Amino acid sequence: RQLLAELTQAVADGGLRMDYQPIVELGSGRTVGFEALARWPHPARGMVSPVEFIPVAEESGLIIELGAWVLHTSVREAASWDSGHYVSVNVSVRQFHAPGFVERVHRELASSGLPAGRLTLEITESLLLGDQDQIHADLARLRAAGIRVSIDDFGTGYSSLSYLHRVPVDTLKLDKSFVDTITTSPQQHDLVRGILRMADTLSLAVVAEGIETEEEHRLLREAGCAYGQGFLFARPLTGADARARMRSEA
């Protein structure tokens, strides 16, 4: 209750900020884009994790406003990058289903000047369990405009691989749980190779999440995974630090 009241206040008063975690090409190590991650520096509680406050926002419906702020802020930030990097924005289920979501995305692109090809929306597998016709139609409209769509935490949810060929998405974000076990479990290593083969067959790009060691990096690269994200490369950065990173690689 208290947390919701304070979060509502924070959304209204500019108490949240966005950080940006580099997504790199595993072969070259070069940054290709950034995942936008919401941060809530709370005056008394310290940094409150989105793992705590996103569910509170989802349950209460505040996610509509919070998500609108996240989209607005991340798209404007990316529009200020002259390097061509893309921004990948998390979208929660309830936010996606809110009336006018697709129009809002188009409006943010138009008003900021960010080319559609530099915006990726991260959805979850759970979204795809809803009204398939409606969701596929909305995803198709987004993609027809040039926006990319990725499935976040891939492999943890509805893990039937057979539905993937019907889902209009561009990228799979391979969940960190696979990355964590790839170095110690031959079965998991095989499974990851299988997922990468399947993604290739379906022309889906793969971003491996939560890469923390050189060994994980090497095994993923050898398995043919093109992109990755994780503390090995960089933690989520402030907007200023993200810009500094782009300049240093230019």
- Token pair, residue 47, equals 């940094």
Residues in the chain: 250
Of the listed pieces 23-31, 154-162, 195-203, 206-214, which binds ligand G according to CB under 6 A?
A: 206-214
Among 6, 108, 122, 125, binds Mn ion (CB under 5 A): 122
Distance of closest approach, residue 229 Cβ to Mn ion, in angstroms: 9
d(CA 189, CA 74): 34
Is 65 a binder of ligand G (CB under 6 A)?
Answer: no
The gap between the terminal CA atoms of the chain, to the nearest Å, is: 47
CB of 24 to ligand G, least distance (A): 11
236 touches ligand G by CB under 6 A: yes
Under rule CB under 6 A, residue 230 binds ligand G = yes
Determine if residue 155 is left, alpha or beta; phi over 0 gives left, psi from -120 to 50 gives alpha, anything else beta. Answer: left
- Judged by CB under 6 A, the chain residues 25 through 44 that form the site for ligand G are 37-38
Give the CA distances from residue 135 to residues 118, 130, 206, in Å, rounded to whole numbers and listed in that order: 22, 7, 22
Which of positions 134-153 make contact with Mn ion (CB under 5 A)?
Answer: 152
Tokens of 149: 């769509």
Residues in contact with Na ion, shown as a per-residue x/- string from 193 to 232 under the rule CB under 5 A: ----------------x-----------------------
Q: Using alpha carbons only, what angle is made at residue 95 by residues 92 and 98, rounded to the nearest 5 degrees? A: 150
Q: How far is CA 175 from the centre of its chain?
A: 11
Nearest distance in Å: CB 105, ligand G: 14
Dihedral, 108, 110, 113, 119 alpha carbons, nearest 10: 50
* Interface of this chain with Na ion, residues 146 to 165, rule: CB under 5 A: 152-153
d(CA 70, CA 21): 15
Does residue number 65 form part of the binding site for Na ion (CB under 5 A)? no
Task: Give the footprint of Mn ion on this chain (CB under 5 A).
Answer: 90, 122, 152
Task: Give the footprint of ligand G on this chain (CB under 6 A).
Answer: 21, 37-38, 49-51, 54, 70, 90, 92, 152-153, 173, 209-212, 229-231, 236
